[in-house]
């Protein structure tokens, strides 16, 4: 792509601005491919792909005012360019109704959409009024209509159960009804960052229905490719879509400002529906159509054996039975062992998947999917198996199923577990402190599963004693030493020798960012800096590391590539494509001065109203973890650092800095932490960001069990942990005299970002001095401060070698 190519977008740039907006053509191409592959075709009566040269009438203002991304830190990229659907259809040679198109262009220019302030962005744009006569006139010239419905989502604001958000507005419903009545065929494009109500598609006659997630700068062109058949709409749903909002299991316990009981427990999304209410699903998890048809035949199940790390090998024969080339996703699910009497389990759990290569009509390919036996295990948080706080494989015969969505599967065989096996013995950690009832499987008189309830086990461990027993050892001080950091980077001196010469004040400074966003130490518009943020630290040769948002592109003052959102990427089910795209994005980071990208976002789609769902991948932890690992590997292959976020259980934007996520230890391990665990195991991210919310009574950035017990001790994570921006300050509930960042460092959270001030503080207007004060007066050890400082230095060494 050259600067002149920017004119193809919705904004034409000239001179130096156009030069600044140059995007690597390989990255632009991959964004376009990924956006198309992540577009989900939900229904098609033959209207798609659009017939070549056939006239088409396009309705809906979002054809012009296209949602390329969501709002907030996951979307406010100074995009090099964006594209619109109307422009893209015209460029693709579609014979759009020119009179109608001109009317939409004029009206949108005269009625620009509101921009809104932070957290108050518009969720939709008012529709252009159009008469029945205008619709009928367009229908006389074209058999097919495209109607575009758009929804925005964003940080610090939920979607709501109102017209213009989760539901259609009256104007939108009227437009769909009148267009559907007037035209022989109606294609409905839903351009949205979050799942919205789609029940209207059944009653309003949508012959074709397609989900176009915010696809970034190339998203509209990618959709035009898919609509015209230049490429296949290759997406598969990463979250189930129910007929009604009330059908979602989290609906009764979402959006409260003080706390939310995660009462559905492990029965999140499709795990609930497939166990208790498959009929409540409008479009199942994993579902998506293309322009051809497929037959997936199980072709063998073998293993496990010690030679392959105790993994099953699931083989499937995939045949393109249609008339066009295409690619599909082969999904592998596990069912509960027959006759189980121990741990209650969902009826289906995703345990593996792969994307086929492009296959011509009639072509057949055999794929093999490796499924580690660990993926069949469950976490026993109350000792029903005799092994509390352990991942266990219960004895029994486990059905393994293969198909192209969770409801369209065939048996691939069974795997026998002769006797109960403890896969990993853990220790009690992060259990709830408050009692609540959680969902389990019960059965009626006919043996049909139905939701039952049991009390979630509460914490019994002595956390204070655990912390005191595991205080890190200190490096003995060596005052007056002047080893330069360059010697550490070059390998001529060790980090311990360097640490030994730092004062407590310098050590503490390493655990704070550079006070605010847009640090003068980095490229304009950066999210903040860490490392060498004071003159004293820089005098020792310690460089600053520059952070930038985010999941959809570099949020800088300069122009940058705008990437498909997280849900769009995950909807590809193509980790190789995601990794390739992320590697090129890593090259852009290097070119534009970003050391740490605050991405990927990987919280679970617990509820469709969460305002930041567009940044996240899925309701499923395996798909989430493997997609996140692909992003991390791609970025870090270029020498920079990825920072997965938000760790953990950050599943709503309402009161996100104070609300308590009350979750059983089992649901945490199997759902909300599992994706992060997979990412750590598969990709070793250099940085991880904690979340704003409390988890079972303690903020994530103070949560010792979350960060030190589970992340570091159990998972073996050795990297840096940072806070989300401007954490909440609070006194330490276990250690009188400690508070704020002293508690943070004791928990193992290394750096307060963006710096030494926060939303609320026991040091209201000033810098947080709690680390130095806590060390001198309240028992915070030198070893604890050195441990966090060491991890900062280790990251800087990795970035500069």
Q: Alpha carbon of 630 to those of 214, 566, 569, 681, 795: distances in Å?
A: 20, 12, 11, 12, 20
C-alpha–C-alpha distance, residues 294 and 302, integer Å: 24
Closest C-alpha among 338, 318, 339 to residue 329: 318
Closest C-alpha among 611, 554, 526, 617 to residue 70: 611
User: Is 532:544 a contact under the CB 8 Å cutoff?
Assistant: yes
User: Is 579:600 a contact under the CB 8 Å cutoff?
Assistant: no
C-alpha–C-alpha distance, residues 649 and 677, integer Å: 13
| Residue of 87, 574, 724, 732 marked catalytic | 724
C-alpha–C-alpha distance, residues 785 and 511, integer Å: 8
C-alpha–C-alpha distance, residues 469 and 449, integer Å: 45
For residue 512, the tally of other CB atoms under 10 A from its CB is 22
State the residue for tokens 């205080």.
Answer: 471
Q: Alpha carbon of 255 to those of 369, 581, 637, 650, 699: distances in Å?
A: 38, 34, 39, 12, 17
C-alpha–C-alpha distance, residues 784 and 745, integer Å: 7
Closest C-alpha among 155, 410, 184 to residue 301: 410
- Is 724 catalytic? The answer is yes
Q: Alpha carbon of 418 to those of 52, 83, 197, 302, 370: distances in Å?
A: 59, 57, 45, 16, 21
DSSP of 526-581: -SEEEES-SHHHHHTTPPEEEEE--TTS--SSS-B--PPPHHHHHTTT-HHHHHHH
Neighbouring-strand partners of residue 397: 416
3-class SS letters over 397-435 = EEEEEEEEECCEEEEEEEEEECCCEEEEECCCCCCCCCC
User: Is 603:616 a contact under the CB 8 Å cutoff?
Assistant: yes
C-alpha–C-alpha distance, residues 315 and 299, integer Å: 5
State the residue for tokens 């009317």.
Answer: 103
Closest C-alpha among 350, 347, 322 to residue 336: 347
Closest C-alpha among 672, 671, 607, 680 to residue 642: 680
Active-site annotation, residues: 724
């Amino acid at each position: 792509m050259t600067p002149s190519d920017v004119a193809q977008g919705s904004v034409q740039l000239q001179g130096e601005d156009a030069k600044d907006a140059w995007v690597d053509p390989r990255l632009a191409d991959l964004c376009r491919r990924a956006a198309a592959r992540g577009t989900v075709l939900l229904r098609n009566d033959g209207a798609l792909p659009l017939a070549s040269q056939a006239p088409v009438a396009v309705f809906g203002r979002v054809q012009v005012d296209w949602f390329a991304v969501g709002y907030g830190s996951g979307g406010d990229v100074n995009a090099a360019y964006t594209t619109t659907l109307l422009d893209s259809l015209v460029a693709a040679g579609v014979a759009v109704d020119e009179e109608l198109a001109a009317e939409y262009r004029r009206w949108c220019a005269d009625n620009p959409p509101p921009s809104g302030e932070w957290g108050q962005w518009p969720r939709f744009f008012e529709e252009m009024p159009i008469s029945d006569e205008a619709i009928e006139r367009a229908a006389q010239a074209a058999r097919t209509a495209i109607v575009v419905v758009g929804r925005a989502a964003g940080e610090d604001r939920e979607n709501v159960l109102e017209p213009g958000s989760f539901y259609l507005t009256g104007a939108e419903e009227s437009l769909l009804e009148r267009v559907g009545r007037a035209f022989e065929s109606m294609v409905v494009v839903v351009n949205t960052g979050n799942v919205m109500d789609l029940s209207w598609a059944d009653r309003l006659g949508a012959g074709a229905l397609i989900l176009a997630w915010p696809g970034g700068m190339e998203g509209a062109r990618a959709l035009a490719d898919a609509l015209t058949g230049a490429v296949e709409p290759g997406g598969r749903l990463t979250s189930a879509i129910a007929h009604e909002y009330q059908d979602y299991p989290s609906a009764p316990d979402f959006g409260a400002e003080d706390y939310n009981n995660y009462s559905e427990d492990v029965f999140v999304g499709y795990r609930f529906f497939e166990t208790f209410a498959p009929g409540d699903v409008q479009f199942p998890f994993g579902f998506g159509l293309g322009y051809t048809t497929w037959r997936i035949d199980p072709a063998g199940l073998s293993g496990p054996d010690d030679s392959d790390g105790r993994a099953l090998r699931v083989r499937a024969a995939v045949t393109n039975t249609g008339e066009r080339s295409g690619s599909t996703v082969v999904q592998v699910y596990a069912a509960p062992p027959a006759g189980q009497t121990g741990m209650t389990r969902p009826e289906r759990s995703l345990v593996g998947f792969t994307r086929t290569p492009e296959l011509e009509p009639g072509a057949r390919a055999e794929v093999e999917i490796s499924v580690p036996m660990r993926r069949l295990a469950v976490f026993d948080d109350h000792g029903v198996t005799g092994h509390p706080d352990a991942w266990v494989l219960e004895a029994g015969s486990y059905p393994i199923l293969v198909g192209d969505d969770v409801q369209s599967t065939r048996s691939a065989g069974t795997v026998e577990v002769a006797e109960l096996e403890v896969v990993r013995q853990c220790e009690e950690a992060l259990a709830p402190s408050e009692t609540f009832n959680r969902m389990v499987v019960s059965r009626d008189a006919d043996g049909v599963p139905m939701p039952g309830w049991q009390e979630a086990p509460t914490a019994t461990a002595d956390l204070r004693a655990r912390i005191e027993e595991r205080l890190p050892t200190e490096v003995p001080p060596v005052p007056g030493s002047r080893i330069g950091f360059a010697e550490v980077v070059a390998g001529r001196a060790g980090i311990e020798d360097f640490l030994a010469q730092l004062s407590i004040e310098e050590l503490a400074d390493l655990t704070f960012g550079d006070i605010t966003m847009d640090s003068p130490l980095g490229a304009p518009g950066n999210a903040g800096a860490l490392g060498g943020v004071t003159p004293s630290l820089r005098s020792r040769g310690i460089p600053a590391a520059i952070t930038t948002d985010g999941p959809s592109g570099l949020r800088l003052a300069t122009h940058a590539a705008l990437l498909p959102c997280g849900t769009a990427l995950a909807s590809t089910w193509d980790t190789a494509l995601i990794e390739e795209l992320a590697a090129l994005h890593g090259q852009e980071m290097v070119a534009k001065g970003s050391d740490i990208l605050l991405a990927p976002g990987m919280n679970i789609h617990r509820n469709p109203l969460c305002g930041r769902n567009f940044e996240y991948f899925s309701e499923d932890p395996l798909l989430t973890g493997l997609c996140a690992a692909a992003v991390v590997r791609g970025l870090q292959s270029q020498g920079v650092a990825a920072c997965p976020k938000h760790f953990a259980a950050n599943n709503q934007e309402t009161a996100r800095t104070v609300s308590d996520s009350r979750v059983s230890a089992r649901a945490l391990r199997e759902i909300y932490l599992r994706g992060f665990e997979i990412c750590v195991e598969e990709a070793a991210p250099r940085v991880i960001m904690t979340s704003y919310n409390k988890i079972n009574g303690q903020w994530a950035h103070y949560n010792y069990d979350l960060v030190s017990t589970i992340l570091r001790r159990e998972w073996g994570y050795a990297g840096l942990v940072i806070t989300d921006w401007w954490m909440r300050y609070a006194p330490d509930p276990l250690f009188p005299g400690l508070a704020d960042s002293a508690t943070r460092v004791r928990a193992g959270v290394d750096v307060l970002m963006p710096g030494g001030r926060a939303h609320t503080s026991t040091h209201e207007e000033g810098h947080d001095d709690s680390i130095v004060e806590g060390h001198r007066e309240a028992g915070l050890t030198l070893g604890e401060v050195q441990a966090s400082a060491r991890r900062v230095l280790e990251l800087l060494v990795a970035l500069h070698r």
